Amino acid sequence: MVFIGIDLGTSFIKGAVLDLERLQLTHVHRLPFPNPRVDRNPLFCEFDPHEIVSAVRDFIGDLLHREPNCSGIVMCTQMHGMVLMNGRGEMLSPCLTWRDQRAVMPHPSGAGTYFDVMTRLVGDRRWKQLGNELRPGVPSSFLFWLAEQGKLEPGLIPVSMPDTVLSVLCASPPSVDLTNAMAYGLLNLETVDWHYEVIEDLGLGRLRLPKLRKHGEIVGHLKLGANSVPCYTPVGDYQCALLGALLEMDELSLNISTGSQVSRLTPRLALGDYQTRPFFDGKFLNTFTHIPAGRALDVLVELLCELATEQGLDLQDPWSYIAEEAMEVTDTDLKVDLNFFASPFGERGMISNIRKENLAVGHLFRAAFNNMADHHCDCAVRIWPDRTWRRLVLSGGLISKLDVLRHVVQKKFQSDYRLAPAEDTLSGLLVLALVFSGRAKSCEEAMRDLRLRSQSWQSGPTERTVS
């Protein structure tokens, strides 16, 4: 039995054939996500939803050509994409993603930005019920902006990006599972239903909210040629990646890549001064996201490369030199604060305590890695105060590639660690396929099987990138 797994990101669309017999990923490949529309307003970031649907259709068709006896399609996605549809299944708006920041535009009332006004309308108590995760770039902020502009027609349905794709491809009514519904910023985690009170107060009561579905429900059948393949509820890529990391209840997850997250699994809802997200098997995640990581480090790399770039010189691999020099520095008194972008620790960074002897690449990045480890440890203690985790689970391209960063993190945490599989989201889709196909009764059982058979659980052919 095989499934097809699709990871619908906003940089790449990635997919694989999921072999449920051998517990393997085969035919792993990816293609670039469609480019955004050109807009004169730098705060706007819109995509043509027809291009997205077409790209996913062709991508699935390619995988079905390789494995025509597919038994189902599972999908995960970047969680904040949204398209407005009508009751006839037509797409009536561009696709807006987390990159769209129109909510930080000034509100015409003069009371701050649209997001400031929205924040006051929601209030602290209801903010926690929504998961403590409202920010510019979530669907509720797009919808509030549109409502305040008088551009939100009655009866429109806000649909997540993958649910839009499946609704169009399968000609089925749009719906959404809890992991993606939570990303709207409109789901009440205490009632596990739409937060109708907040929806009314934000002026969104005339919308038709999509049906909430459970994980593993079939949302429609995709017909391509002679194939009619069941498509299952798409899930959030964040939760899917932690499934693929085979995260256990006594493990602490650190995902460090372009952005970064610290996460803990809990058996029941426990709201607090952190973000809370629904997981699988009735569990929840307490987490911090947007911790300074690769995106902030790129600011330093760009600074170091600026003169070479101006001279027309292309530095092929600055990171190999950076890693070597940082490893040579066992400690440094140089201080780097990586909060160059909005994060749980502020939005202003700095480099301080500079001396002639420590103003060098090795010291600079060793100090940056120290700052990253400090931030991650601080977040970890806030979601797990007694520090009783058994070990760390490290995932993400940055920490997987940099030995020196893993060394710094382990020294800070004083904990054992293991590396998650490289293809964590696709591996998470394999877990879901085992459950949705009936081969496992729960995600926990499927992950346990994968742990037991870890020697046979490996990627198939080398990944290729389609340009």
**How confident is the model over 132-183, as pLDDT tens digits?**
888 898 999 999 999 999 999 999 999 999 999 999 999 999 999 999 999 9
Sign of the C-alpha dihedral computed for residues 361, 362, 365 and 368 taken in this order:
negative
418 in Cβ contact with 245 (< 8 Å): no
Q: Name the DSSP class of 246.
A: T
Please say whether the beta carbons of 105 and 113 come within 8 A.
yes
Distance CA 85, CA 141 (A): 17
Cα 297 to Cα 10, 54, 300, 413: the distances in Å are 21, 35, 5, 21
Query: Quick one: tokens of 400?
Result: 């997987």
Answer left, alpha or beta for residue 229, where phi above 0 means left and psi between -120 and 50 means alpha. Answer: beta
For 263, the 3-state DSSP assignment is strand
Alpha carbons 412 and 128: distance in angstroms, whole number: 30
Say which residue the tokens 């000034």 belong to. Answer: 106
Question: What is the structure's pLDDT at 206?
Answer: 94
* Radius of gyration over every alpha carbon of the chain, rounded to an integer in angstroms: 22
Q: Could you give the CA distance from residue 128 to residue 270 in angstroms, rounded to a whole number? A: 10
Q: What would the two tokens of residue 292 be?
A: 């300074």
| CA angle (296, 299, 301) in 5-degree steps | 115
Asked if 18 contacts 25 with a C-beta cutoff of 8 angstroms, the reply is yes
Q: How many CB atoms lie within 10 A of CB 258?
A: 14
* H or E stretch covering 309: helix 294-310
Q: Please name the amino acid found at residue 461.
A: P
Calpha distance 199→140 (Å, rounded): 9
Residues of the chain predicted below pLDDT 50: 455-467
Measure the CA–CA gap between 228 and 222, rounded to whole angstroms: 5
Do 180 and 238 meet the contact criterion of CB atoms below 8 Å apart?
A: no
- DSSP assignment of 170-192 equals HT---EEEHHHHHTTT-EETTTT
User: CB count, 10 Å around CB of 223?
Assistant: 12
Say which residue the tokens 């307003």 belong to.
41
Distance from the Cα of residue 30 to its chain's centroid? 17
Q: How close are the terminal C-alpha atoms of the chain, in Å?
A: 30
Confidence (pLDDT) at 466 = 39
Strand partners, 158: 84
- On the CB side of 150, how many CA atoms lie within 13 Å of its CA? 1
Contact in structure between 234 and 177 (CB atoms under 8 Å): yes
CA 171 to chain centre: 27
Tell me the longest C-alpha to C-alpha distance in the chain. 70
Q: How far apart are CA 211 and CA 197, in angstroms?
A: 17
Q: What is the pLDDT of residue 454?
A: 64
| Long-range contacts formed by 279-282: CB under 8 A, 24+ apart | 279/179, 279/239, 279/242, 280/215, 280/239, 280/243, 280/432, 280/442, 280/443, 281/442, 281/443, 281/444
Domains of the chain: residue spans and CATH? 2-237 (3.30.420.40), 246-291+374-419 (3.30.420.40), 294-370 (no CATH)
- pTM beyond 0.75: the answer is yes
Torsion of CA 122, 123, 124, 127, to 10 degrees: 0
Q: Are 337 and 285 in contact (CB under 8 A)?
A: no
**3 and 15 Cβ atoms separated by less than 8 Å:** no
Which amino acid is present at 350? M
CA-CA distances (angstroms) from residue 201 to 3, 147, 154, 186? 42, 11, 16, 11
Query: Tens digits of per-residue pLDDT, 252-310?
Result: 999 999 889 999 999 999 999 999 999 999 999 999 998 999 999 999 999 999 999 88
Query: For residue 304, what are its two tokens?
Result: 């170091």
